[in-house]
Structure 1
Amino acid sequence: MPAHTDGGVGRRIAYYRSVVRPKMTQQELADAARVALGTVRKIERGERGVTGATLEAIAGALGVDPSRLRSDRGPAHTEVREALPALSAAIVTYDLPEDGPVRPMHELRIAVDEAAKWRLGAQYTRIARRLPALLSELARAYHAAPAHERADAASLVVSAYRSADAVAYKFGARDLSARMVDIMRWASPEAEDPLLAASVAYVRTETYFAARAHAAGLRSLELALDAAPEPTTPTETAARGALHMRAAVIAGRSSDADAAETHLSESRALADRVPEDVYYGTAFGPDSVRTHEVSVAVSLGGDHVGQALDVAREWKPPASLPAERRSGFYIELARAQLWAGVADDAFESLKVARRIAPQHTREHPWVREDAATLRRLKRADSETLTNFAEWCAAT
């Protein structure tokens, strides 16, 4: 891959290394990224370029998305889009995979779990690079698996497709996303796991959001709630709570305030019974429900927008919450602030969202719409606002 030669890359690497807690030395960064210490020193001093593979390794060691280290965020944006055809090609043969190598099941699980972490961290470039090959390998593993491993293989297929779907959906490839959801629904019964089926129902709601079929989406989630296990264990409680949380948002989009509040109340009660964590690929707990209180208020609009502002005055999402969820909170808060007439606050929220998860923020349609509105309202006011609008391609 081409090398990034702008000295700004090295400065950004040094900056992120200095804020890692505890502060990371150059030697520690080199060891974690598996590159030579001299290489790290020269990159930080701007004396040598850095290839895409090395940049990704360093970003992984620092715990940030590679796009945060690039001098030009554009290449990451383009790279994800350029990978969409490869994702599409990988899923074409999900039922008739081509021959190729297959790692042992435990190694595949490690790879799938890593992809799930990238999804929660909104690190879409990594997913776009790695998932096409992984999806193909998982298809081979599933079809070659002996009977006693078939359920595990199906579970891995569902999880990996969920990570790949995040890229397709967030980057506007809605038809590709819908195909991936269909494959998740095809593989899920083979896993013989009702909690996995609940997680697929959660993800399937994307197709209803994309089609603006909100009432139908709410019915689908309510059917999933009927089929979900009773909440006796933490994972069962979280699975049911996540479905209620999702149902509250889509009820808000369909302007059904009563249903939205009912589902939100149910999700609050269930969240109080479990610690905030990631269950079957979905973050759930008291903090996740708070973020969804803002989402529901914005979905309902009108007189409900003040509720979103009230939540934000009293609470902010903690750093322990996945980046994708935290950035989503600030994106939706920005919309509420814009509607409430506090444009400066709205812009500050969008900037916070960008710092947390730049790729997620850049690709979110609300960000483009709201940045364009802010630019019209403030016109020649702010060079920073103009730069932000150009960054997210607001028109």
Structure 2
Amino acid sequence: MPGTTAAELGRRIETHRLARRLTRRQVCDAAGVSVSTLRKVEGGERTPSDAVLDALARALGVTADALLDGPGRSDSRVHQAIPEIRRVIAAYDLPDDGPIRPLPELAVAVTAAVEDRVQSQYARLAEQVPALLAELFRAVDQMNGRERKQAARLLALAVRSADALAYKYGHRDLSARLVELMRWAADLAGDPALSAAAAYVRMETHFAAHQLGPGLRALQAAVDRMPAPVSEPLAAAAAALHMRAAVAAGRMRQADVAREHLREAGVLAGQVREGLYDGTAVGPDSLEIHRLSVAVELGDPSDLHTAVAGAARWAPPRSLPAERRSHYYIDLGRAQRHLGRPRHAAESLLVARQIAPQHVREHGHVRAELAAAVRLTRGRDSRVLALARWARAV
């Protein structure tokens, strides 16, 4: 069972059992195994043989692969666009011939792609982004001087939008390639704020590889390379790096480091108006959302209680992008679940789904939290169960 621990497998088996409202005795009778064996398997104390796993899967009405691998990919139209994105970027430096719109028109198209990304309109974005990338590769290839730098800037933002599709829908190898292309385009553009945005996005690669230490060092190096924050875009870029570094440090349970990055982010975010800067939402409201994220990653009960209490007094304004607002409610649900409030957690995730359903359904934390909520409620809360099935957590 490569890549799957006994504990993970046990949790998945228990989640599927509870979601079907089956007792251990019922599953064991159907599978022909002892109750003590199933108890040890669910508790992560024992790894089942292939024969036992197959029998348990049949009793639960799932496949053994589903138990081993966890939730699979959705059937979203986004996946249909992935092969074309791969084809287009394979020849990024030798693009096919074709038309190129004037730069102002390309800027409008890129702005629309960025808006689709931050509003979590991924299916619509997937329809447009392959052709847009191809056109921008041609523009960078054929233009010179200042125009080439402008085209490279637009390309970096478009590539970031394509990366959102690859990363969120599980195509991690493609995401890593797109991140490198974003960095390449940002270097061509010669804009330090845009290069910082590329460093911000690069952290996804480290998150996916569970390489938080190198990722945190890369973020710190990007901070060190930043010029003095003498303009709003530069201050926003530096604030974004500190916010992401705070989350990474929180996930590593380095509380002092996480809080120091939050402090630095607070100073910088206070210098800018809330808004999108090179595709990243930055400002006082975004900082507040990251405070909750860091509290959840650190997992300190005192911080979690404070964060959940704060949610009764503050909510992300509707002017923020849908993706950012839904992140807040996902993290709020995580905090509530950690505090043993699965029904409140489900309510927060329902709010997140209302804001950005495509984002929530593809979010790995959502599935993990809903599976945990199913176990905490013993499969008896119909709302939790319905949401878990919608998100393919069971």
Instruction: State the TM bucket, normalised to the shorter chain.
Output: 0.7 to 0.9
1:202-239 deviation line (CA, Å, top 9, x unaligned): 11111111111111111111111111121122111111
Please report the TM-score for the alignment, with normalisation by the length of structure 2.
Answer: 0.79
1:218-229 alignment to 2 at 5 Å? 218-229=216-227
What amino acid is aligned across from residue 253 of structure 2 in structure 1?
S
The corresponding residue for 1:110 is: 108
The corresponding residue for 2:343 is: 344
| 1:144 alignment partner, one of 142, 145, 158 | 142
What amino acid is aligned across from residue 225 of structure 2 in structure 1?
A
Gaps in structure 1 of 5+ consecutive residues: 1-75
Gaps in structure 2 of 5+ consecutive residues: 1-73
What amino acid is aligned across from residue 157 of structure 2 in structure 1?
S
Q: Is the 8 A contact 2:137 2:155 kept in 1?
A: yes
Q: Is the 8 A contact 1:77 1:359 kept in 2?
A: no
* C-alpha displacement of 1:390: 1.4
Report how many aligned residue pairs link the two structures.
Answer: 321
1:99-138 alignment to 2 at 5 Å? 99-138=97-136
The corresponding residue for 1:234 is: 232
The more displaced of 265-274 and 159-168 is: 265-274
Partners in 1 of 2:99 and 2:109 — Cα distance?
Answer: 15
Partners in 2 of 1:367 and 1:351 — Cα distance?
Answer: 11
Partners in 2 of 1:307 and 1:221 — Cα distance?
Answer: 28
Partners in 2 of 1:352 and 1:153 — Cα distance?
Answer: 38
The corresponding residue for 1:281 is: 279
The corresponding residue for 2:200 is: 202
What amino acid is aligned across from residue 374 of structure 2 in structure 1?
R
Q: Is the 8 A contact 1:115 1:163 kept in 2?
A: yes
The corresponding residue for 2:41 is: none
Partners in 1 of 2:354 and 2:101 — Cα distance?
Answer: 37
The answer to whether structure 1 residue 317 and structure 2 residue 313 are counterparts is: no
Please report the TM-score for the alignment, with normalisation by the length of structure 1.
Answer: 0.79
Higher relative contact order (CA 8 A, sep 6+): 2
- The SS at the match of 1:103 is coil
Partners in 1 of 2:317 and 2:380 — Cα distance?
Answer: 32
Question: Alpha carbon RMSD of aligned pairs, Å?
Answer: 1.5
The corresponding residue for 1:306 is: 305
Q: Is the 8 A contact 1:297 1:307 kept in 2?
A: no
1:164-313 alignment to 2 at 5 Å? 164-303=162-301, 304-313=303-312
Partners in 2 of 1:98 and 1:300 — Cα distance?
Answer: 48
The answer to whether structure 1 residue 361 and structure 2 residue 363 are counterparts is: no
What amino acid is aligned across from residue 334 of structure 1 in structure 2?
G
1:333-390 deviation line (CA, Å, top 9, x unaligned): 1111001011111000000000000000000011111112222222442333322111
1:150-202 deviation line (CA, Å, top 9, x unaligned): 11111111000001101111111111100000111112111011111111111
1:61-117 deviation line (CA, Å, top 9, x unaligned): xxxxxxxxxxxxxxx952112222122122111111111111111111110111001
1:25-71 deviation line (CA, Å, top 9, x unaligned): xxxxxxxxxxxxxxxxxxxxxxxxxxxxxxxxxxxxxxxxxxxxxxx
* C-alpha displacement of 1:297: 0.8
- The SS at the match of 1:314 is coil
The answer to whether structure 1 residue 159 and structure 2 residue 157 are counterparts is: yes
Partners in 2 of 1:127 and 1:307 — Cα distance?
Answer: 37
What amino acid is aligned across from residue 288 of structure 1 in structure 2?
S
What amino acid is aligned across from residue 383 of structure 1 in structure 2?
S
Structure 1 segments of 4 or more deviating over 6 A?
Answer: none
Partners in 2 of 1:158 and 1:362 — Cα distance?
Answer: 26
The answer to whether structure 1 residue 378 and structure 2 residue 377 are counterparts is: yes
- The SS at the match of 2:281 is strand
What amino acid is aligned across from residue 333 of structure 2 in structure 1?
A
What amino acid is aligned across from residue 362 of structure 1 in structure 2?
R
- The SS at the match of 2:272 is coil
Q: Is the 8 A contact 2:343 2:384 kept in 1?
A: no
The corresponding residue for 2:85 is: 87
Partners in 1 of 2:257 and 2:378 — Cα distance?
Answer: 40
Partners in 2 of 1:195 and 1:144 — Cα distance?
Answer: 25
Percent identity, aligned pairs only, is: 50
Partners in 2 of 1:387 and 1:167 — Cα distance?
Answer: 26
What amino acid is aligned across from residue 317 of structure 2 in structure 1?
P
- The SS at the match of 1:278 is strand
Partners in 2 of 1:241 and 1:176 — Cα distance?
Answer: 27
What amino acid is aligned across from residue 99 of structure 2 in structure 1?
P
Indicate how the Cα distance of structure 1 residues 311 and 214 shifts in structure 2: closer, same or farther if over 3 A, else same: farther
What amino acid is aligned across from residue 361 of structure 2 in structure 1?
R
Partners in 2 of 1:283 and 1:366 — Cα distance?
Answer: 21
* C-alpha displacement of 1:302: 3.4
Q: Is the 8 A contact 1:199 1:282 kept in 2?
A: yes
- The SS at the match of 1:201 is helix
1:109-150 deviation line (CA, Å, top 9, x unaligned): 110111001111011111111001111111111101133311
Partners in 2 of 1:380 and 1:371 — Cα distance?
Answer: 11
Q: Is the 8 A contact 2:156 2:185 kept in 1?
A: yes
Q: Is the 8 A contact 2:370 2:388 kept in 1?
A: yes
What amino acid is aligned across from residue 322 of structure 2 in structure 1?
A
